[in-house]
Amino acid sequence: MIILDGKKTAQDLKEEIKISVASIRENNQRPPHLAAVIVGNDGASLTYVGSKVRSCEYVGFDSTLIQLEESTTEETLLEKIKELNQDANLDGYIVQLPLPKHIDEEKILLAIDPTKDVDGFHPSNFGRMALEMDAFIPATPFGIIELLERYKIETSGKHCVVVGRSHIVGRPISILMSQKGSAGNATVTVAHSRTENLANLTRNADIVVMALGIPEFLTADMVKEGAVIIDVGITRVSDDRHPKGYVIKGDVAFDEVSSKSSYITPVPGGVGPMTIAMLLKNTLLAYQRKL
Ligand code: NDP
């Protein structure tokens, strides 16, 4: 069994991006610039945004954190988005989700200029991705593809079962893995909460992508010997023995499943770190596409 080390792979990617940024700076050009907008004080969201900003600094990007009050109106947020769309010195930006309930997420998403949508959530990018055109691919599925490529995992002709059909993980990874090309050409089955006999599907899969958000859902009896297991799940589970009062669990019962698998991503340290690295990669792409 080989661990798909997302932490190391993400670090390798960051070093590569850092080198690209250093050469941009040596040519006296402005570096790529990413902004992050956060509305409110949700602890997990603040942590995610904080680490995105720190990663920008690490690779030498310019970064801007825009922190707005929980009570910010939809109108004010839309104004801010208009400003960001018009800012010629900004290559890409993200609006951290979830937004407070009084703000319509779809409206906000549609207002983002697709050429700056480094999260790849705008329908224009999603459609372009599905049509195999140049697009910003959502960072988490993009990170999974990168991991599969870097570890040279054969996907062509393999049966892949994706559990979860969300717009940010399950649906896009199922599209990408069924497309022609690298880390693609798989025969993909998408499962969800209405799927019957899920274990029968996963037991016949060469590759299982778990993206549902139920801790340790995938157990050893649900996988076949030698399967590749990608665990996207991140759930905080209360644990008084831990100083933080919780531990992070994936969707896979790692200890029992790992001994049956050929490759497996750990949680933490698997898909999670790749997500931030791919956001940086998308920002660099946004910068390069402008040139
Ligand atoms: P969503 O809640 O949007 O989607 C969950 C999906 O799982 C849905 O399609 C749902 O089906 C399906 N599902 C729920 N219960 C079952 C079940 N019993 N059997 C089969 N399918 C089921 O989640 P996300 O896609 O946003 O996130 C999934 C997990 O990945 C979460 O733990 C999240 O924290 C994590 N995540 C990790 C990231 C990373 O960087 N590593 C990035 C993004 C998410 P239905 O559609 O029918 O409701």
Interval 103-162: pLDDT, tens: 999 999 999 999 999 999 999 999 999 999 999 999 999 999 999 999 999 999 999 999
62 is catalytic: no
CATH number at residue 238: 3.40.50.720
Task: Look at the chain and report how many structural domains it folds into.
Answer: 2
Query: What does the mean pLDDT of the chain come to?
Result: 97
Residues 60 and 159 both lie in one domain: no
**Nearest-atom index, ligand 1, CA of 195:** 20
147 lines ligand 1 (CB under 6 A): no
For residue 152, being part of any structural domain is answered with yes
Confidence at residue 177, expressed as pLDDT on a 0 to 100 scale: 98
Ligand 1 mutation target, pool 4, 175, 192, 201, most atoms within 8 A of CB: 192
CB 261 within 8 Å of CB 134: no
244 lines ligand 1 (CB under 6 A): no
Q: Is 89 exposed, middle or buried (0-12, 13-18, 19+ CB in 10 A)?
A: exposed
The CA–CA distances, whole Å, from 271 to 46, 122, 232 equal 19, 22, 6
11 is catalytic: no
For residue 167, being part of any structural domain is answered with yes
Confidence at residue 220, expressed as pLDDT on a 0 to 100 scale: 98
With a cut of 50, which residues of the chain have pLDDT below it? Answer: none
140 lines ligand 1 (CB under 6 A): yes
Confidence at residue 290, expressed as pLDDT on a 0 to 100 scale: 82
For residue 22, being part of any structural domain is answered with no
Q: What is the DSSP string of 239-258?
A: -TTSTTSEEEE-SB-HHHHH
Range of the domain at 167: 139-272
Asked which of 60, 79, 113 is the last residue of a domain, the reply is: 113
Say how far residue 236 (Cα) sits from the centre of its chain: 18
Please name the residues in contact with 127: beta carbons below 8 A apart, sequence gap of 6 or more: none
Confidence at residue 44, expressed as pLDDT on a 0 to 100 scale: 85
Identify the helix (H) or strand (E) that includes residue 95: strand 92-95
Residue nearest to atom 48 of ligand 1 (CA): 193
Residues 168 and 249 both lie in one domain: yes
Catalytic residue chosen out of the listed positions 119, 206, 231, 251: 119
Instruction: Tell me which residue of 139, 39, 46 sits closest to 79, measured CA to CA.
Output: 39
Confidence at residue 291, expressed as pLDDT on a 0 to 100 scale: 74
User: What is the C-alpha separation between 117 and 181, in angstroms, rounded?
Assistant: 24
Residues 187 and 267 both lie in one domain: yes
For residue 128, being part of any structural domain is answered with no
CATH number at residue 32: 3.40.50.10860
